[in-house]
Amino acid sequence: MMKEQWIQYITHLQNHICQQLEEVDGKEKFIEDKWERKEGGGGITRVIANGDVFEKGGVNTSVVYGEVTDTMRKQLSIDGEKWFACGLSLVLHPINPYVPTVHANWRYFELYDTNDVKTDSWFGGGCDLTPYYIFEEDAKHFHQTIKNAIDPFGDGLYQKYKQQCDEYFVNRHRNNEARGIGGVFYDHLRPKDDAEAQNLFEFQQANSTAFMEAYLPIIQKRKNISFSERETEWQDIRRGRYVEFNLIHDRGTLFGLKTDGRTESILMSLPPRVRWEYNYQPAEGSKEAELLEYLKPRNWID
């Protein structure tokens, strides 16, 4: 069954990603927190902090299930009696402002009727990059690597899911300023049969594998760049925008908080340090001001 296959995969994926991140950090290890949900299921939260590369990061898996509530029907526009959800979500906040923050998740959802017969299922996920300073070659590498993974599954899919990412990760209350430079975002990929479900499973595998190939080289190139208090202050200000998006607009965060989800795991995505300054404007012509010109949809691949 796809459900069991997916659970096994994300368990392996969590172990693999955490191992790679510990190697690149070189100092700290992930601490593990296993938790249970009284309504059904549970998860494994892994957090790394105060390392040589990562100031804070989390790689979480969850396998949860329960009754479909009125809140779920309203928030998710779903119709069923019982549900199952399983996924991996990660957010990494590096110390060095020249290394971007990154987010990714891959998930699978099933719905059942009163007789526990599956009536619907879908995949979702994606990844996106949030730099504090722009290196065009890094942005192109990130997008190209993701595109290379998606292309075998259909013409035009990368562009479609890139556009969905550009439209989703936006602080509309900040004059439609993007959270970062995007990536891909997709949801409700519904398989029509077992063969299509397997194809979507392989699509998720390809994307999650490509994520590490897209992000790790950027860390290696930028983690040793010298920086000062100026760059750290700018990083804190931009992290404020990250927090605003997650608490005001992010559907997953809002849904989790409104449905008695595990708060510590939901808010793991927030940075450990942040700053808001009234009407802050970077100096004209500065590297900080340059970033703002890139926080809008852009074609990163020639």
Active site residues: 103
Indicate the DSSP class of residue 282.
Answer: P
Residue pair 45/264 in contact by the 8 Å Cβ criterion? yes
Residue pair 113/171 in contact by the 8 Å Cβ criterion? no
Q: DSSP letters of 42-103?
A: EEEEEEEES-SSEEEEEEEEEEEEEEPPHHHHHHH----SEEEEEEEEEEEEESSTTSPEEE
Q: How far apart are CA 218 and CA 143, in angstroms?
A: 12
The two tokens of residue 136 are: 């065009």
Where would I find the H helices in 169-259?
194-222, 229-248, 251-258
Q: Give the DSSP H/E element, type plus range, for residue 160.
A: helix 157-168
Q: Which residues, 6+ apart, have CB-to-CB distance to 259 below 8 Å?
A: 69, 71, 72, 75
Q: How far apart are CA 4 and CA 184, in angstroms?
A: 26
Is residue 50 classed exposed, middle or buried when 0-12, 13-18 and 19+ CB atoms within 10 A define those classes? exposed
